[in-house]
Structure 1
Amino acid sequence: MKKKIYLGFLFISVIGVSYGQDSAETSENDNLKSESSFKTDIDLVEPPNWWVGFKDQTLQLLVKHQDIGNFIPQINHPDITIEKVSRGDNSNNYLFIDLRIAEGTSAGQFNILFENDKAQDLVHTYQLKSRATSSKEYIGFNSSDAIYLITPDRFANANTLNDIPITAKGEQDLLEKTIDRTDDYARHGGDIEGITTHLDYISSLGFTAIWPQPLLTNNMKSGSYHGYAVTDLYQIDPRFGTLDDYQKLSQKAQNKGIKLIMDQVANHCGLEHWWMKDLPFTDWVNLQANYEKHIANWNNDVTINSNHRRTTNQDRYTSKYDSDANSQGWFVSTMPDLNQRNPFMATYIIQNSIWWIETAQLNGIRQDTYPYPDKDFMSDWAGAIMTEYPNFSIVGEEWSYNPLLIGYWQKGANNKDGYDSNLKSTMDFAMQAKVVEALNEDESWDTGLVKIYEGLANDFHYASPKDMMVFPDNHDMSRIFTQLKGDVINTKMALATYAMMPRILQLYYGTEILMNDFEKPGDHGLIRTDYPGGWQDDSVNAFTGEGLSSEQKDMQSFVKKLLNYRKGSKAIHEGKAIHFAPSNGVYVLFRVKDDETVVLILNKNDTPTSVDLKRFAEIGLNGKSLQNMMTGDNLQWNDSIKLNKKGVVILTTKI
């Protein structure tokens, strides 16, 4: 079911009116306006603007205004037609207007006239823009990319004036204004400008894309810093900056060859979202009746939260009760679950994603909590985006260590129920865990490095392994340095392994300087620690290296060499992967493309060991010269190689 079906078949026409007729108030020549002629008597219209030249020529406007349900909208424009008008069934303060924009319509402004029988006419000027980029030129992320995940509030504070906004739209409504860097769950002041300021640093490390956690307004009473409780889906949080700041970040990143990925949330919003005080439909959010009972009596034992049983999406034996409790329950009590089965909500979410792609010139979307929303809607959502932007990329979060569940969500999966997600990329939590287990465990027949070997063997299940995203850690789990018990050598081995796999690579900010959560393992506030040097009074500055320990500087250098080589390696981006079962504490993975071969050697032996290279004869390296990627030393690939110490060795034929 595609977006046009939501618009064309599921809306109920509740107002009978002949649209497009001449009006005493406007004439056809008046409809294309200049920027300076903008006028509005309406509180809110979303999307706030749109574009000409889409494949899908439909558009639905959400109009919110006191008693707007008593008004009839009219548009007098030869290329723009009102196809249907719908009222909310829970509030008279909403109209949903379905428009059709004819092919070839020129960009410009036109007036929407709202009339009622009391002669209290209202006018709103709406803008259709020209598209800055054609659909095919929106190039997404892929296996050639290394993505830098950032918690914006904790990365860098470049503009202290927006710490407590005083001029931004909606600032009077922001509930959590206090900046307190001593509180791990309060706002610390990091902002968009802080990311933009340090793009050179990010690029120098070898990253080719950035993924900031959500930057939209989180007008919540507490814990608003993380961004996942959005209270305005069309507004950059004033504490992060402005829309202009976000667009500048996008442009400057692209100028440096860095792609921008937007973190979006289709499953839920924040409890303080403006529509929660005036819901347009009786089913705008899931369990809405329970919510109304809940707020009437906060001590009432009313079911609201999800059961978090995500396997119900694939389970052929699942009960409807369990399935509904997963997809219709709220993520937590402060994050209302959006009802994507409501066609107006479905269209709202799809249009919002497209609006941000066009507005910020995005290269990709990371979609939060992917298995929680209605899965048929998620297929429609991804399908609508990929139909409009065929070279775009979307990655979905499925936090599972079971490859069967992860693979289910990737486009092209051979699912028994016939489900096709239209989702290009999924997050490989299973492989993330296997690498950690492999390095933490002692070596035996079924423990240690064999976990990586058998983990990659599961790739037969995936529709496209190289389009999956692997990572050492993220904003919701302990830092990789913590997971590996503070072992620097094991951390280097892990990072190199993730980087050499047939995958898209993502690293969390601070991994390159051994940031950790030893004090309170797993504590989200600590995991999302301030990046040293991001604040003017920081005594340590990781951007310049000032105050870093020798181990931190060494790791920073290691990551820089690793990712900058990876950036230019066709063998790692596209090459065939061949690996050999671990033997005597050594695991070897090859990536081969044309005349380039990259060799990853993981050695867990604390004492010198010799590796018989004749075992790898099928790779065809005998007699060839290879270079150690980290040291620059050259060696001849003959009968054997001696490994003097525990660690990782990366060799390449590209000298």
Structure 2
Amino acid sequence: MLTLFFSCKNEEDEALNTKTETVTEIKNEVNRVEPPHWWVGFKETSLQLLVHHPNISKATPSISYAGVAIKKVNKADSPNYLFIDLEISEIAKSGQFNINFKFEDGTKLVQTYQLKDRDKAVDQFVGFDSSDAIYLITPDRFSNGNPNNDSIKGLNEQDVDRSHDYKRHGGDITGITNHLDYISDMGFTQVWSCPLLTNDMENGSYHGYAITDYYQVDPRFGTMEEYINLSQKAREKGMGMIMDQVANHCGVSHWWMKDLPFKDWVNQQSKFEKREPLNNSNHRRTVNQDLYASNQDKNEMTEGWFVPTMPDLNQRNPFMAKYITQNSIWWIETLKLSGIRQDTYPYPDKDFMSSWAKQIMTEYPNFSIVGEEWSYNPLLIGYWQAGHKNKDGYNGHLKSTMDFAMNQNIVDALNQDEAWDRGLIKMYEGLANDFSYTSPKDIMIFLDNHDKSRVFTQFNGDITKTKTALSYMLTLPRIPQIYYGTEILMDDFEKPGDHGLIRTDFPGGWQDDAVNAFTGKGLTEEQLDMQRYIKTLLNYRKESNAIHNGKTIHFAPFNGTYFLFRIAEDETVVHIINKNENPITIDLNRYNEVGLKGKTLTNIVSGQTIIWEDTIQLDKKGSLILTTKK
């Protein structure tokens, strides 16, 4: 039995004038109400419910619950929708109440709705920063913890086929949860999983980026309870959970594509409904910053579909905008997230993205959002970051963007062998571009991910270059992200850049795997060495104030070497890159301003010590990472 309180007079008198109503049964007579529940205590007191049910527009909704009032009922173009604007005042308490829908012919529908207490304080939603290291996982390819959910009746893709790079392989939420110890022991502090929401597409559904239900966990990955448990278990091990979200597009099999609420719910909707050819995006992302961009190019960018199977959501529709924003907040609150990674950030309406980020950061001031701006131009990357002084006055309210520019500079620098310093200068000048960022240390750096060829492949199987790139990345003033399997030299040599191959199964994630990277069984000595190398660096980095917050000084490449220093009051970390094939002696007086002369430094990887004197001999090509920390 549930006791409900509702107003006898008006909203101002609710706290003093209430009586009880007894509800003996929870009603769920409406096909769909989203968000499926909400919370009390937000700064934003409005809530918009999407209600979907046959001819629901002919019904009049009513609510009797203290602190909750219907402010406006909005009809859509489809008769099967209502959008109900609620006001949830400060006096509203957690509990369940009925939304009563009365039709003109006297028939009624009843839907029970729940308001919850927020069980985590706003200041406890702490995001990621330069003290973190992020582990990116493609869940279908990481570990199959529950084979019973491999095939779910009623969904389009039924079969698991590990021999096919674009079929489902069976990895799931339980598989990630089972290996949180491995992730934590490696030294990672944040887990970013590619989308885990329902992707009920006819093929290629394993990757998760064509979402067909924004409030449902894909049952082939697991249950809502398992997703919540994953986040909780990660927090218990000191790791945050980052959710991959997609505001730009959905999957063409999304439930609403069969009954779109408004004529402009998705871009090019008229063409879609008439089955006319659709225009894909021109992918000219620079139109967001270009002072001279034509409206034609802007429209082709923002209104074109990313691919034909991914309808482009129209965030200029205010109901769509509200839907996306509320969905993000719902997941933050449900999973107790530390951050959001927003896919294809430049593709949606940019004013909406600013509003979206601002609303989230207003509710969660310590939260983190990183946007995917796939550009090798730091000016475009910096444009989105909060507080950046843009000529057009745009404020993206975004804490972090992804550093594709530095990513490319590192790879190009180490792959260019024909001259000592020419390649290293690309890396040096790439870091010198940090003046273009409002906060460089809040930018996310990476070498590979679910869309880019494996870094070991990018370096043509060169382990020394791979180690050098990773160690440099981990000492930069950045937030580093490492893709699952990079620590064991996973590659895509067979088809470089092929998405299905980039997302290869992690060995040991399936019961019959002969090789198990979680335990080390069957790994080659080179793979074990790389795994130990990354683990050593990450665990040192975890406790390094110099890397987290220290001053950065680097010196222009000289004699085929490049010196980078990270300096805090109690610690200096030195990263040296050497591209010389033969031993070389370097005059250290060039670096006297750093103040290391006479100090003892320890090799972070080997544990050996040296005294910083007038010279240092570099015996082999690669990187050397030293610290003054005892």
Question: What's the TM-score, normalizing by structure 1?
Answer: 0.93
Residue 654, structure 1, aligned to residue 621, structure 2: no
**Contact 1:20–1:76 (Cα < 8 Å) also in 2:** no
Q: Which AA in structure 2 matches 1:612?
A: D
Residue equivalent to 1:14: none
TM-superposed deviation, 1:442: 1.9
Q: Which AA in structure 2 matches 1:364?
A: G
Number of matched pairs = 618
Q: Which AA in structure 2 matches 1:82?
A: I
Residue 133, structure 1, aligned to residue 120, structure 2: yes
Residues 591 and 31 of structure 1: CA distance in aligned 2, closer, same or farther (over 3 Å):
farther
**Contact 2:197–2:208 (Cα < 8 Å) also in 1:** yes
User: Which string of whole-angstrom CA distances, capped at 9 and with x for unpartnered residues, describes residues 361-385 of structure 1?
Assistant: 1000000000000000000000000
- State how far apart, in whole Å, the 1-side matches of 2:202 and 2:9 are: 44
Residue 199, structure 1, aligned to residue 192, structure 2: no
Residue 614, structure 1, aligned to residue 589, structure 2: yes
Residue among 304, 314, 328 paired with 2:289: 314
- State how far apart, in whole Å, the 2-side matches of 1:381 and 1:367 are: 11
Residue equivalent to 1:250: 231
- State how far apart, in whole Å, the 1-side matches of 2:138 and 2:20 are: 47
Residue 44, structure 1, aligned to residue 32, structure 2: yes
Q: Which AA in structure 2 matches 1:336?
A: P
Q: Secondary structure at the match of 1:124?
A: strand
Q: Which AA in structure 1 matches 2:130?
A: S
Q: Secondary structure at the match of 1:453?
A: helix
Residue among 537, 544, 552 paired with 2:527: 552
Q: Secondary structure at the match of 1:59?
A: strand
Residue among 271, 294, 302 paired with 1:290: 271
**Contact 1:31–1:109 (Cα < 8 Å) also in 2:** no
- State how far apart, in whole Å, the 2-side matches of 1:503 and 1:136 are: 23
Residue equivalent to 1:13: none
Residues 579 and 19 of structure 1: CA distance in aligned 2, closer, same or farther (over 3 Å):
farther
TM-superposed deviation, 1:116: 1.4
- State how far apart, in whole Å, the 1-side matches of 2:147 and 2:402 are: 35
Residue equivalent to 2:163: 182
User: 1:42-191 maps to which residues of 2 (within 5 A)?
Assistant: 42-89=30-77, 91-165=78-152, 171-172=153-154, 174-191=155-172
Residue equivalent to 1:348: 323
Residue equivalent to 1:339: 314
Q: Which AA in structure 2 matches 1:45?
A: V
Residue 361, structure 1, aligned to residue 361, structure 2: no
- State how far apart, in whole Å, the 2-side matches of 1:237 and 1:485 are: 36
User: Which string of whole-angstrom CA distances, capped at 9 and with x for unpartnered residues, describes residues 383-422 of structure 1?
Assistant: 0000000000000000000111111111111110000000
Residue 267, structure 1, aligned to residue 248, structure 2: yes
TM-superposed deviation, 1:39: 1.2
- State how far apart, in whole Å, the 2-side matches of 1:390 and 1:137 are: 10
Residue equivalent to 1:3: none
Q: Which AA in structure 2 matches 1:465?
A: P
Residue equivalent to 2:14: none
Residue equivalent to 2:3: none
Residue equivalent to 2:484: 509
Q: Which AA in structure 2 matches 1:186?
A: K
Residue equivalent to 1:6: none
- State how far apart, in whole Å, the 1-side matches of 2:150 and 2:22 are: 40
- State how far apart, in whole Å, the 2-side matches of 1:243 and 1:360 are: 9
**Contact 2:421–2:561 (Cα < 8 Å) also in 1:** no
- State how far apart, in whole Å, the 1-side matches of 2:278 and 2:343 are: 23
Residue 236, structure 1, aligned to residue 211, structure 2: no
Residues 31 and 321 of structure 1: CA distance in aligned 2, closer, same or farther (over 3 Å):
farther
TM-superposed deviation, 1:612: 1.0
Q: Which AA in structure 1 matches 2:52?
A: K
- State how far apart, in whole Å, the 2-side matches of 1:58 and 1:483 are: 49
User: Which string of whole-angstrom CA distances, capped at 9 and with x for unpartnered residues, describes residues 15-54 of structure 1?
Assistant: xxx9979xxxxx9645686xx8421210100000000000
Residues 31 and 532 of structure 1: CA distance in aligned 2, closer, same or farther (over 3 Å):
farther
User: Which string of whole-angstrom CA distances, capped at 9 and with x for unpartnered residues, describes residues 44-80 of structure 1?
Assistant: 0000000000000110000000110110000112311
- State how far apart, in whole Å, the 1-side matches of 2:145 and 2:195 are: 18
User: 1:323-334 maps to which residues of 2 (within 5 A)?
Assistant: 323-334=298-309
Residue equivalent to 2:258: 277
Q: Secondary structure at the match of 1:449?
A: helix
- State how far apart, in whole Å, the 1-side matches of 2:29 and 2:494 are: 55
Residue among 460, 483, 486 paired with 2:458: 483
**Contact 1:28–1:76 (Cα < 8 Å) also in 2:** no
Q: Secondary structure at the match of 1:379?
A: helix
- State how far apart, in whole Å, the 2-side matches of 1:31 and 1:510 are: 57
Residues 423 and 112 of structure 1: CA distance in aligned 2, closer, same or farther (over 3 Å):
same
Residue among 379, 398, 416 paired with 1:404: 379
Any gaps of 5 or more consecutive residues in structure 1? 1-17, 22-26, 166-170, 295-299
**Contact 2:66–2:92 (Cα < 8 Å) also in 1:** no
- State how far apart, in whole Å, the 2-side matches of 1:222 and 1:30 are: 52
Residue 593, structure 1, aligned to residue 568, structure 2: yes
TM-superposed deviation, 1:117: 1.9
TM-superposed deviation, 1:465: 0.3
Q: Secondary structure at the match of 1:448?
A: helix
Residue equivalent to 2:557: 582
- State how far apart, in whole Å, the 2-side matches of 1:268 and 1:453 are: 37
User: Which string of whole-angstrom CA distances, capped at 9 and with x for unpartnered residues, describes residues 63-98 of structure 1?
Assistant: 000110110000112311100001111x10000000
TM-superposed deviation, 1:303: 3.4
Residue 223, structure 1, aligned to residue 204, structure 2: yes
**Contact 2:136–2:191 (Cα < 8 Å) also in 1:** yes
Q: Secondary structure at the match of 1:535?
A: coil
Residue among 345, 351, 369 paired with 1:376: 351
**Contact 2:421–2:559 (Cα < 8 Å) also in 1:** no
Residue equivalent to 1:528: 503
User: Which string of whole-angstrom CA distances, capped at 9 and with x for unpartnered residues, describes residues 230-249 of structure 1?
Assistant: 00000000000000000000
**Contact 1:216–1:227 (Cα < 8 Å) also in 2:** yes
- State how far apart, in whole Å, the 1-side matches of 2:573 and 2:25 are: 61
User: 1:353-502 maps to which residues of 2 (within 5 A)?
Assistant: 353-442=328-417, 444=419, 447-502=422-477
TM-superposed deviation, 1:104: 2.7
TM-superposed deviation, 1:648: 0.9
Q: Secondary structure at the match of 1:588?
A: strand
- State how far apart, in whole Å, the 2-side matches of 1:134 and 1:110 are: 25
- State how far apart, in whole Å, the 1-side matches of 2:66 and 2:614 are: 78
- State how far apart, in whole Å, the 2-side matches of 1:527 and 1:57 are: 44
Q: Which AA in structure 2 matches 1:616?
A: Y
Residue among 607, 615, 629 paired with 2:604: 629
Question: What's the TM-score, normalizing by structure 2?
Answer: 0.97
Q: Secondary structure at the match of 2:219?
A: coil
Q: Which AA in structure 2 matches 1:268?
A: H
Residues 20 and 308 of structure 1: CA distance in aligned 2, closer, same or farther (over 3 Å):
farther
Q: Secondary structure at the match of 1:356?
A: helix
Q: Secondary structure at the match of 2:423?
A: coil
TM-superposed deviation, 1:444: 3.4
- State how far apart, in whole Å, the 1-side matches of 2:456 and 2:25 are: 57
Residue equivalent to 1:518: 493
Q: Secondary structure at the match of 2:202?
A: coil
